[in-house]
Structure 1
Amino acid sequence: MKYLITGATGNLGEKVTRWLRTMTSENNIRVGIHNLKKANKFDDLAVEKVKLDYFDLDTLQKAVSGVDLVVYIPSLTYDLQKRITEFENVLQVVKNAKAKLIFVSFFADQENNPFVMSPFYAYVPRRLASSNVEYSIVKNSLYADPLVPYLEELIKRKNIIYPVGTQPLSFITRNDSAHAIACLAMQPVMRDQGQTYLLSMDKNYNMVELSYIMSRITDHKIGYAPVTTTEFAKIYAQEGDGKELASMYAGGAKGLLSATSDDFHRLTGREPEEVEHFLRNGYQIARL
Structure 2
Amino acid sequence: MRYLVTGASGGFGGYALDWLLKLAPKEDVVGLIRDPGKAGDIEAKGAEARIGDYGDIDSLKRAFESVDRLLFISGVPGNRQQEHANVIDAAEECGISFIAYTSFAHADLVHNMLSEDHVFTEARIVQSGIAHTFLRNNWYLENETTLFKHALKTGQLVYMAGEATVGWALKREYAEAAARVILAGNQPEVMELSADPTRYSELAQALEAATGKAIDAVDMDEAQFIEALRDEVPEQAIQGMIGIQQLIAHGDLEVKSDDFVLALGHSLVGLEDAVKETLGSQHLL
Secondary structure in 2 matching 1:101: strand
Cα deviation code 1:51-78 (max 9, x no counterpart): 111111221111111111111112233x
Match of 1:120 in 2: 117
Distance between the aligned counterparts of 2:86 and 2:13, measured in 1?
19
The offset of 1:24, in angstroms, is: 1.1
TM-score using structure 2 length: 0.89
Secondary structure of the residue aligned to 2:128 is coil
* Superposed displacement of residue 150, structure 1: 4.6
Q: 1:247 to 1:111 in 2, by over 3 A?
A: farther
Offset, 1:284: 5.3
Structure 2, unmatched stretches of 5+, are: none
Determine if the alignment matches structure 1 residue 197 to structure 2 residue 191.
yes
SS of 2:123's equivalent in the other structure is helix
Aligned residue for 2:218?
Answer: 225
Relative to structure 1, is the Cα distance of residues 41 and 108 closer, same or farther in structure 2, using a 3 angstrom cutoff?
farther
1:80-121 CA-to-partner distances (Å, cap 9, x unmatched) read xx010111000110110111211111216255433x121112
- Name the residue aligned to 2:160: 163
Q: Which residue of 1 aligns with 2:234?
A: 238
Match of 2:203 among 196, 201, 210: 210
Moved more, 130-139 or 9-18: 130-139
In 1, the alpha carbon distance for the partners of 2:40 and 2:141 equals 27
The CA deviation at 1:44 is 2.7
Q: Distance in 1 between matches of 2:156 and 2:22?
A: 41
Residues 144 and 275 in structure 1, CA contact (< 8 A), matched pair in contact too? no
Whether 2:176 is the aligned partner of 1:182: answer no
Residue type matched to 2:199 in 1?
N
Aligned mates of 1:252, 1:110 — CA distance in 2: 16
TM-score, normalisation: structure 1 = 0.88
Which of 81, 90, 95 matches 1:93? Answer: 90
Whichever residue aligns with residue 155 of structure 2, its letter is K
Amino acid of the structure 2 residue aligned with 1:204: P
Equivalent in the alignment of 2:27: 27
Check if 1:15 corresponds to 2:11: no
Going from structure 1 to structure 2, the CA distance change for 1:241 and 1:83 (only over 3 Å counts) comes to farther
Structure 2 residue 65 is the aligned partner of structure 1 residue 71: no
The one-letter code sitting in structure 2 at the alignment partner of 1:246 is I
Structure 1 281/119 Cα, relative in aligned 2: closer, same or farther at 3 Å? closer
Gap change, CA 1:34 and 1:197, over 3 Å in 2: same
Deviations 1:229-257 (A, max 9, x none): 46657847727543333222211101221
8 Å CA contact 1:111–1:122 kept in 2: the answer is no
Other-structure match for 2:105: 107
| Mapped partners of 1:10, 1:228: distance in 2 | 34
Instruction: Identify the match of residue 279 of structure 1 among 269, 275, 278.
Output: 275
Question: Percent same amino acid among aligned pairs?
Answer: 21
Q: What secondary structure is seen at the aligned counterpart in 2 of 1:189? A: coil
Deviates more, 1:62-71 or 1:242-251: 242-251
CA RMSD of aligned residues (A): 2.3
| Deviation of the 1:179 alpha carbon | 1.2
Structure-1 residue corresponding to 2:80: 83
Contact 2:35 2:51 in 1 (8 A): yes
**Residue 13 (structure 1) shift:** 0.2
Measured in 2, the distance between the counterparts of 1:241 and 1:61 equals 36
1:196 to 1:111, Cα distance in 2 relative to 1, 3 A: closer
Q: Is the 8 A contact 1:148 1:279 kept in 2?
A: no
Per the alignment, in what secondary structure is the counterpart of residue 205 of structure 2? helix
Counterpart residue identity of residue 283, structure 1:
L
2:164 partner letter: Q
For the Cα contact (< 8 Å) 2:85–2:121, is it kept in 1? no
For 2:221, give the aligned amino acid: T
- More deviation, 46-55/238-247: 238-247
